[in-house]
Structure 1
Amino acid sequence: MKHPMLTILLTAFVISLHCGCLRALPCPPMPDLKNVTEFICSSPTLSEFPSGFPKQTRLITVEFTNVSIIGVDSLRALPDLQELHLSNNKLKTLPNSLFRYLPKLQAVDLTNNLLRDLPPGIFRNNTALKHVALKGNRLAVLRSVWFETLRQLQFLDLSENLLAELPPFCFDTLENLTSLDLSYNRLRELSPRIFAGLASLTGLNLEGNHIQTVQEKTFRAVPNLQFVFLQNNSLANLPAKIFQSLDFLEMLDLSQNRLTSLDPEFSDQVTEMSLDLSENLWVCDCRMKALLDWVKSRSINLLSKKSTICASPNKLKGREIASLKPDDFGSC
């Protein structure tokens, strides 16, 4: 489950994308409509992508339908289109030139379709894009060519796909990206080359992967990170200084891993932070005492305290860590 804070952020994003849709008219549009710019099609019986949109159309929503194919010329005569919502359909492929004639396109939502791949030049002419959602598809490979021209992109959701690895420097042109969601894929390792170029990134969600290894300098490429979600992975240890470069860290979720210890080597600039350490395999020795002392010495909000317990030594097994006294901790 996504963290409540992230859920709020993603909900706000979805609401912002659909702003004004309640005033939109159903489609396909009638021939005599004038000055109508927004259309919604959400019929489960719809099997073909609608046509006949007027040239001034700015927003199209075709969601929760049985549409499996979208023609190469379906959007060709819509130069003012800014938002396209195609979630919860049956799309398996997209034409390479589908978005070629949409220079003002700012948001594309392809959530919950059946896409296994995207054409190399799918976003080549869409330099105004700010939001791309590819959540809930069947993407097993990520191609850097998709993102080469998207320097204005701010939000990228690749969650709930089949990604086992990320190509080096895949996102290095996304200099304005602030939110990257890679949760619920099959990632096993993180390295500095993955996040190269993401200097503006503030939110990174890696929840629900199979991550076992995080290389020491992984987060140096993303110094502005504020929210990091690493819960529900397979982490048994982390490099001592892995988070030291993150001066603006506000939320770190390491719950539901296999961690036994964590060195409190965070940036000196971090004086207030929410930290979730629950459901790990903590060894309550001098290292845990040092971490707890650090938490108490700063304004650190330790979340899920009742689930943050000792796994060893035996005399402390099952004890709530935050309730332990200094003399309770074992030696190293």
Structure 2
Amino acid sequence: MDSSVPAIFIACILMSLYCCPLQALLCPPLPTSMNITEFSCNSPSLNNFPVGFPRQTRLISVEFTNISTIGVDALVGLPNLQELHLSNNRLKTLPTGLFRNLPKLHALDLTDNLLEDLPPGIFENSSALKQLVLKGNQLVTLHPSWFQTLEQLEFLDLSNNQLKDVPPYCFNKLGNLTTLDLSFNFLCKLSPQILEGMPRLEKLILEGNQLRSVTEETFHGVPRLGFVFLQNNSFTDLPAGIFKPLGLLELLDISKNKLTSWNPQFSGQGTKLSLDLSGNPWVCDCRMRALLNWVKLHSVLLYSTRDVICAYPKSLEGQAVMTLGEADFGSC
């Protein structure tokens, strides 16, 4: 290490200036003579993206700052960059060529910025990406072109945006994706092709949308899907047989919807199922009795049983379903 570099300067870099007394430095760039491969800065006073990263840099973390723009050449000359963390800034847009010539970039985090849209070709040179996090922005529309070259992507987080729809076949090139998070958007419906082309998908998170229905074809083609989160939506019905293709399903959360009855149909269940039925306005008649019998027969683990409550008939309103005997359920 260059002995001419002041010790306090080095300490500021390594500690991200969070506790550094020289706040005026505002996370300075690394001198090219220093053999440091990771750069971290979280100074809220930083207004401009740092420059001067050494060629050997593998990780850049510029988070919780005040930067609102980033130049198209900000990452030029960084062929070894593997992780880029830009969460909790004020970025409103990104230039088209920002991620060009980053052949090793496999993790990109843009959580909690102000992004309303992205250029169509923003990720066309990012084929090595495995993790992409766009959580907590203001995206209204998804462009299928964003995802057409991301064949190695394994984790995609689009939660907490303003999405009202997902275009058909939007993710059909994501053959290695294992986790898709679309929670806390404004989705009212799902295209039957939303999961097309994702045979390795294991976890689907759709919590906190406005979904009312889903077609029986939705879960075809995702045989590895084991965790499905549909809670906090507006489902009034789930089609018979919708979960039949999911022989490896381990956890299904349909709590806090508007379901009054449900006829579960599964085939070839290879794992023990955990299920959350709480927070729905259940009708406690012969259909609920059949549902409970199915739960017992298949040794299904029920979560939050105290909150699985009868809404109808009036005589059973507010009663916990699990406290009822066979004779308590009304006829259909």
Q: TM-score by structure 1 length? A: 0.91
Is the Cα contact below 8 Å between 1:25 and 1:38 reproduced in 2? no
Matched, 1:266 2:266: yes
Matched, 1:180 2:180: yes
Match of 1:299 in 2: 299
Taking the aligned partners of 1:184 and 1:68, their CA distance within structure 2 comes to 24
CA RMSD of aligned residues (A): 1.3
1:207-226, aligned counterparts within 5 Å?
Answer: 207-226=207-226
Q: Which moved more, 1:54-63 or 1:319-328?
A: 319-328
Matched, 1:147 2:147: yes
Match of 2:319 in 1: 319
Q: CA deviation at 1:145?
A: 0.4
Match of 1:134 in 2: 134
Q: CA deviation at 1:216?
A: 1.7
Q: CA deviation at 1:32?
A: 5.9
Taking the aligned partners of 2:35 and 2:282, their CA distance within structure 1 comes to 63
Taking the aligned partners of 1:67 and 1:262, their CA distance within structure 2 comes to 50
Taking the aligned partners of 1:30 and 1:240, their CA distance within structure 2 comes to 60
Is the Cα contact below 8 Å between 1:271 and 1:299 reproduced in 2? no
Q: Deviations over 1:282-302 (max 9, x none)?
A: 011111111100111122110
Match of 1:104 in 2: 104
SS of the equivalent of 2:193 reads helix
Q: Which moved more, 1:235-244 or 1:58-67?
A: 235-244
Q: Deviations over 1:163-198 (max 9, x none)?
A: 100000000000000000000000011232111111
Taking the aligned partners of 2:250 and 2:262, their CA distance within structure 1 comes to 17
Taking the aligned partners of 1:237 and 1:127, their CA distance within structure 2 comes to 39
Taking the aligned partners of 2:224 and 2:14, their CA distance within structure 1 comes to 38
Is the Cα contact below 8 Å between 2:249 and 2:271 reproduced in 1? no
Match of 1:15 in 2: none
Taking the aligned partners of 1:240 and 1:182, their CA distance within structure 2 comes to 24
SS of the equivalent of 1:190 reads coil
Taking the aligned partners of 1:77 and 1:252, their CA distance within structure 2 comes to 46
- Pair 283,138 (structure 1): closer, same or farther in 2 beyond 3 Å: same
Match of 2:250 in 1: 250
Q: Deviations over 1:129-179 (max 9, x none)?
A: 000000000000001100101110000000000110000000000000000
- Pair 207,247 (structure 1): closer, same or farther in 2 beyond 3 Å: same
| Structure 2 letter corresponding to 1:189 | K
Q: Deviations over 1:30-63 (max 9, x none)?
A: 4264221000010000000000100000000000
- Give unpaired runs (5+ residues) of structure 2: 1-12, 17-26
Match of 1:159 in 2: 159
| Structure 2 letter corresponding to 1:286 | C
Matched, 1:115 2:107: no
1:57-72, aligned counterparts within 5 Å?
Answer: 57-72=57-72
Match of 2:36 in 1: 36
| Structure 2 letter corresponding to 1:248 | L
| Structure 1 letter corresponding to 2:113 | N
| Structure 2 letter corresponding to 1:240 | A
Q: CA deviation at 1:128?
A: 0.7
Taking the aligned partners of 2:299 and 2:270, their CA distance within structure 1 comes to 9
Is the Cα contact below 8 Å between 2:32 and 2:54 reproduced in 1? no
Taking the aligned partners of 1:28 and 1:166, their CA distance within structure 2 comes to 41
Is the Cα contact below 8 Å between 1:264 and 1:290 reproduced in 2? no
Taking the aligned partners of 1:125 and 1:31, their CA distance within structure 2 comes to 28
- Pair 271,34 (structure 1): closer, same or farther in 2 beyond 3 Å: closer
- Give unpaired runs (5+ residues) of structure 1: 1-22
Is the Cα contact below 8 Å between 1:192 and 1:221 reproduced in 2? no
Is the Cα contact below 8 Å between 1:261 and 1:287 reproduced in 2? yes
Q: Which has the higher helix share?
A: 1
Is the Cα contact below 8 Å between 1:247 and 1:269 reproduced in 2? yes
Q: CA deviation at 1:24?
A: 5.1
Q: CA deviation at 1:271?
A: 5.0
CA radius of gyration, larger in: 2
1:236-247, aligned counterparts within 5 Å?
Answer: 236-247=236-247
| Structure 2 letter corresponding to 1:138 | Q
Q: Deviations over 1:74-116 (max 9, x none)?
A: 0011010000000000000100000011010000000000001
Taking the aligned partners of 2:149 and 2:14, their CA distance within structure 1 comes to 31
Q: CA deviation at 1:212?
A: 0.6
| Structure 2 letter corresponding to 1:320 | A
Q: How many residues align?
A: 310
- Pair 24,261 (structure 1): closer, same or farther in 2 beyond 3 Å: farther
Taking the aligned partners of 1:321 and 1:88, their CA distance within structure 2 comes to 44
SS of the equivalent of 1:84 reads strand
- Pair 193,238 (structure 1): closer, same or farther in 2 beyond 3 Å: same
